[in-house]
Structure 1
Amino acid sequence: MFTLRADAQPRCTHERASQAWVAQRLATLFGWEFGGEYESGHAASARPYFVPDETLDAAQAAALGIIDEDDLFGGVVPHAFVASKVITHPLPTATSPAPPGWQPRLSAGLAGAVLSGFSVFDADLIEAAGQLLLASGGTVRLKEAQARGGNGQHLFTDAATLRDVVATLDRDTVRRHGVVLEQNLEHATTCSVGEIRVAGRRLAYLGTQRQIDDGNGNEVYGGSHLRVLQGGLDALEAIAADPAERAALRQAMRYDAAVSAAYPGFFASRRNYDVVAGHDAQGRWRCGVLEQSWRMGGASPAEILALAAFLQPGAPAVLDVSCHESHDPGQPVPQGAQVSYHDPAAASGPALKYARVEGGDGSPA
């Protein structure tokens, strides 16, 4: 098996380290030979398994001999843009620019499962789309399609601030990848709903994310706490703790089904959905999918720990696992932690990333 650099965009050191950690752990769990990073033309003695750093498009998958979810830890989409957050929302108008392969009918399938918003592929149309959302009151969030971990996001409450944000965007990047404009909720919680399928094993999980300060005043992803069981997304209803989690699960399942219907060429062995629940400007409680991840993600080290635990005899029916990212160079490694990255001298990004299986009281098992 191999890690795979699927995108020309350079990855941070901590992302490459986490990718290698996940691949090495999978190889150990299933007795596969780990060949490091895949290089074009590499001769494999058997059908290889890949852990890519991005969701693959159909052409990339075909070139690698990937034909179904058993060939990778991640996903394959018919067009590259389908892997990004832009598919969550409709275009501002029926005639607005969109990439080849765009399916307008997906919006109908996602209605009610996502927040109010638009996806825009023309910088000249961003301001008008943003003002439509501002007319409903409250704060609007602009998200750059290619950004990860809470980066590349901007909040605004008036047209002047929006205009200033648009002026900072690269027009060609907007045209190629798009931006998302979306209703922002107050007092919100972000739930994680996901499923992994590896070597005939199928696990699903439900949990919450936490945000942390990156040390520069920016709010970024800080980790997740997940409750995991054996089975698919439909099995999670039994462990949903409250109405908010049940709503998040329903929205994630609707999103997953709608994408599969709109893009029949899509398949994935790793599916993760970020679902937000909170209150809108009128004080109404809302719940909607923010975006999907069909590639190795921030929660993947915790997913792999859960997979390892369920492979052991006598595993519990439900397992609690967590993953953590810290930007504090002085953060010690907790007892029982499985570290996927640690560099107190890191110039940017987290200094420490780890996962662990939790005990019944939230302590390491």
Structure 2
Amino acid sequence: MPRGTVVLHVSRPPSFLDRHEGQTICSVARSIARLKDFDYAGPHDRVRLDAGSLFFVPDDTLLRRDADALGIREVKDLYGGIVPFPFVQTKAVSHGLIDPAAARPEGWSLAFAERIEDVVLPGFTAFTRDEARRGARSLLEQGTIRAKQPRAAGGNGQHTLASVREADALLAQLDEDELTTHGLVLELHLDGVTTLSLGRVTLDDTTIAYHGRQRMTRDNSGHCVYGGSDLTCVRGGWSALEARPLAPAAKTAVRQARVYDDAMSEYGVVASRRNYDVGQGADSSGRSRSGVFEASWRVGGATPAEVAALEVFARDSSIDVVHVSSVETYGADIAPPDDAVVHFHGVDSDAGPVLRYSLVRGTSRRDR
């Protein structure tokens, strides 16, 4: 009997595992299995009953009821996170309501919204058309705003609104059931945005934290999409990261991410992987702003870099800092660096030719 087995929990159709995102999750799960000295068995529904202890790598944040059904109880059971309600999986959780009496889904925490108010951009989450209209008009007094569909990812489902007329036109198009169930996020729009990645990851007895920046690239259709993240990872949690010499922008982002992360206790979130996107740019008046855009408790674009850092730390206990990148690039005539770990290199059925890899760019030891 094996010591244990790493398995996937896939909420999307089986064909997902053939695409670049699915193949990258499989690659990450294999690396985690090596780190834990476990077997790797793919999707959990194919696993033998004698596979020993199971460690899950889900493709999405799990709801508590689903985690309970799988026997997932604690941080040690998965690479990802568990939340109590569906809206906590989405961007909807990142802003408060227009007023305390506003419509909200079951389980909504006013205390959480109060705790994060100063570390997110000015904004609201609305679950009715009237409240969305009120929120939009209030925010438009401060400048251009951005409307976000909470469940959309990769910059999709977002609209920039510069007037009440534009806001009303968008709101008129929204599906009532979608709005009531999942809400709409409205926040100040930033120009010249830099998106910083902040995170904390725990695997067995090792905890790391990181800061870094996201990169954008052009996909095979010429659209601007996520192109990867460049991270600086340290042993330890948020305190270890804050102890590092950080540029002012990074220091602000780390503080904001930590406040948001601490506030998640209001929802009882259980997560071994905690990732926060912090946007920094200028609003319509030219004022510099910084705020948490969203949180992720599932395998994401930065995960290949996170796991690469965990592997370096596991190999050499004297290393305290790892500089590492995850890269997503598009096109037929591209090749990875010789020392990269390739997660996908081929033709995706939807995206076309794609290359995804992680690359360790440098390390620092205690004696330096």
In the alignment, what sits opposite 2:366?
A: none
How far apart are 1:167 and its partner, in Å?
4.3
| CA distance in 2 between partners of 1:7 and 1:234 (Å) | 36
What RMSD in Å do the two structures reach over aligned CA positions? 2.2
CA 1:107–1:349 in structure 2 vs 1: closer, same or farther (change >3 Å)?
A: farther
| CA distance in 1 between partners of 2:39 and 2:322 (Å) | 28
Secondary structure at the aligned position of 1:335 is classed as coil
Which among 68, 92, 96 is matched to residue 86 of structure 1?
A: 92
| CA distance in 2 between partners of 1:56 and 1:8 (Å) | 16
Listed as ranges, the matches of 1:256-267 within 5 Å are 256-260=261-265, 262-263=266-267, 265-267=268-270
In the alignment, what sits opposite 1:363?
A: none
How far apart are 1:279 and its partner, in Å?
1.8
Partner amino acid, structure 2, of 1:319: V
The alignment covers a number of residue pairs equal to: 357
| CA distance in 1 between partners of 2:174 and 2:225 (Å) | 20
How far apart are 1:38 and its partner, in Å?
1.3
CA 1:63–1:144 in structure 2 vs 1: closer, same or farther (change >3 Å)?
A: same
Deviant stretches of 4+, over 4 Å: 7-12
Listed as ranges, the matches of 1:145-294 within 5 Å are 145-216=150-221, 218-260=223-265, 262-263=266-267, 265-294=268-297
| CA distance in 1 between partners of 2:97 and 2:321 (Å) | 41
Matched, 1:297 2:300: yes
Further displaced range: 98-107 or 123-132: 123-132
CA 1:345–1:67 in structure 2 vs 1: closer, same or farther (change >3 Å)?
A: closer
In the alignment, what sits opposite 2:26?
A: 20
Which among 299, 305, 310 is matched to residue 307 of structure 1?
A: 310
How much identity, in percent, do the aligned residues show?
39
Matched, 1:57 2:71: no
How far apart are 1:311 and its partner, in Å?
0.8
| CA distance in 1 between partners of 2:105 and 2:290 (Å) | 28
| CA distance in 2 between partners of 1:50 and 1:169 (Å) | 36
Listed as ranges, the matches of 1:71-150 within 5 Å are 71-137=77-143, 139-150=144-155
In the alignment, what sits opposite 2:344?
A: 341
| CA distance in 2 between partners of 1:100 and 1:351 (Å) | 40
CA 1:216–1:164 in structure 2 vs 1: closer, same or farther (change >3 Å)?
A: farther
Give unpaired runs (5+ residues) of structure 1.
Answer: 361-365
Normalising by structure 1, we get a TM-score of 0.91
Give unpaired runs (5+ residues) of structure 2.
Answer: 1-5, 364-368
Partner amino acid, structure 2, of 1:212: T
Task: Write out per-residue CA displacement over residues 208-239 of structure 1, whole angstroms, 9 at most, x where no aligned residue.
Answer: 11222334454321111000111001211133
Task: Write out per-residue CA displacement over residues 120-145 of structure 1, whole angstroms, 9 at most, x where no aligned residue.
Answer: 222453333222111111x2111111
Matched, 1:317 2:324: no
| CA distance in 2 between partners of 1:168 and 1:88 (Å) | 23
Secondary structure at the aligned position of 2:40 is classed as coil
